[in-house]
Amino acid sequence: MPDSTTPDLAARDPDMPDDALGLGLDVPAPEKPAAMGGAAYRVLARKYRPQTFAELIGQDAMVQTLGNAIKRDRLAHAFLMTGVRGVGKTSTARLIAKALNCIGLDGQGGPTIDPCGQCEPCVAIAEGRHIDVIEMDAASHTGVDDVREIIEAVRYSAVSARYKIYIIDEVHMLSKNAFNALLKTLEEPPGHVKFLFATTEVNKVPITVLSRCQRFDLKRIPTELLASHFADIAQKESVEAEVDALTLVAQAAEGSVRDGLSILDQAIAHADMDGDGKVTAAQVRDMLGLSDRGAIRRLFALILAGDAQAMLAEAKNQYNLGVEPLAMFAGLLSEVHRLTLAKVGTPHDGALDAEASALAEDQADRLSFPILHRLWQLLLKGQEEVARAAVPLDAADMALLRVIHAATLPDPGELAKMVAHGSFTSAPPASAPTALDIPTTPNVTSLIPADFPALLDRLARDGFVSLEMTLRDVIRLVEYAPPLLAYQLAGPVPPSFVPELRDALAKVTGTRWDLEERSGEAQPSLLEQEQAVAEAGRRAILESPLVKAAFAAFPEAELLDSDESESQWSKRA
């Protein structure tokens, strides 16, 4: 047995020098690492988990239904919460457990939609230690034996709570046998038992289980509500954040509160690295990789320009930087989708900076709906081919080249006209435009007609006959200063008149027009001018001596236009 002066070799500090052992030296004890100040950090998603139904954002309909059920004592024995990740399914289950078991500060309270959060059941449930509220993760307890334990336990009353509650998360992961074993108990449980299920894939839950539960579909949280929620949390965390930055975080969250809080956590850390601690839109855009959209926009612009060599070089460069061809096509499809939404007038995309927004607006004005739809179909087809190809990059090159050269193919409308008139040609002319007939730098001087009548003739010549007739009949010209057209309306027009006119003008002139309905002095419409000329000619004829003499001899005679006279003669014939 060692004496008291012999050092314990097994417990010695590994950094202690060997010659200090057994020599009776006064060796200082090794320094222990300083303890971290305060408690361990809790991520925002856990720290701000809703503790009351009032803190549960975006699920007002469900909260109202539950509140009415509790007030009227019409509580179901099983609840099923479904929805995408991070919208509050498990949190809702815990809140229901609190609401059903809360006893109030005086210990005499009953079920309530506003649990106090301070009584023993509320505190124990919030801390996950209540003996009568059992949480089970079905992803790791999938078998029939796990369910059999629940079936055996439900026969016994709650120990200290009003209800014994079973919260089963990701319930769709239970096996078929486990579901079958649970059915009878789920249909007729004891009065003191409640089942609360949560799942992200409700389609995998058997219909026999769904029919035994009261179902709540938790919605995705709108971007505006998420951004406001994140602003409140940033204020509580004493973090300064730009509104645009929080909007970007909310958009990236895709309706999930948990995803958004995780991104906000990361954004705050990213901002701290820069020194000032402010969360800016530029930092969030860079952190989320939104700057990579610039590369997709460059590739998309090269496709529109019809520059095949530059387009292939850009695609190869992105591939070398680690962008998979499938992701490349997904980005191009997203770009077409964004432009199409912009064309129909959806709100501005907050994920784009000012320069990118201006470019998107310009492209949306110059690209017609048929061209955007053709782009979508060609890219979608290319994405499918790339997904199946043995060499994805080669398939991507061929698909992108097909998109460029599709400009020389007629659209269905043109093809129908060609079939009707038999005007097929063997090949397009050498000077045929490329890239879907949308020039990136149009020659405005050579393409824009000199005056308004010439513009109408150009529209009719390029196939926009109906639109040309509408312009001729109802447009009173205020100012013609290409690419500005200011006008007044002499008659009704359809709601789609302005966007259709803008698309047609962009197609025939290659530039974006500003269309403005303006008050003030205006010229008569071309139809009104033609009618005025015809009326002046009619008056001149009536005032001529020969015609006056004819009317004096034949008082009941009428002066007919040439079209009217032909119609009268055809009827008589």
Per CATH, the number for 444-523 is 3.30.300
Of the CATH numbers 1.10.150.120, 3.40.50.980, 1.10.10.10, 1.20.272.10, which one belongs to the domain with range 291-412? 1.20.272.10
- Residue 161 · residue 130 · CB < 8 Å: yes
Give the C-alpha distances (Å, rounded to integers) separating 568 from 157, 399, 556, 562: 100, 62, 16, 10
| Yes or no: domain 223-287 corresponds to CATH 1.10.8.60 | yes
Please choose, from the candidates 501, 531, 522, the residue with its C-alpha nearest in 3D space to the C-alpha of residue 513.
Answer: 501
Rounded to 5°, the CA angle 90-96-97 comes to 90
Q: What pLDDT does 6 receive?
A: 40
Q: What pLDDT does 552 receive?
A: 75
Please choose, from the candidates 130, 100, 105, the residue with its C-alpha nearest in 3D space to the C-alpha of residue 116.
Answer: 105
Q: Where are the domains of the chain?
A: 44-217, 223-287, 291-412, 444-523, 527-572
Q: What pLDDT does 386 receive?
A: 93
* C-alpha to C-alpha distance for 458 and 484, rounded to whole angstroms: 17
* C-alpha to C-alpha distance for 357 and 290, rounded to whole angstroms: 13
Q: Which residues contact 322 (CB under 8 A, 6 or more apart)?
A: none
Helices marked H in 389-494 — which ranges? 392-405, 412-421, 444-447, 452-461, 465-474
pTM: 0.58
Collapsing DSSP states into helix, strand and coil, what is residue 133? Answer: strand
With both helix axes pointing from N to C terminus, report the angle between 452-461 and 465-474 in degrees, rounded to the nearest 10. 160
Q: What pLDDT does 417 receive?
A: 59
Fold of 44-217: Rossmann fold (3.40.50)
* C-alpha to C-alpha distance for 393 and 399, rounded to whole angstroms: 10
Q: What pLDDT does 131 receive?
A: 92
- Supply φ then ψ for residue 477, to 5 degrees: -75, 125
Mean pLDDT of residues grouped by 10 in the chain (573 residues)? 41 42 41 51 88 89 90 90 91 92 88 90 90 91 89 90 92 92 90 93 92 91 91 91 88 88 89 72 78 79 88 90 86 88 72 67 79 89 92 92 75 59 48 44 57 87 86 89 88 85 85 85 87 81 76 71 49 46
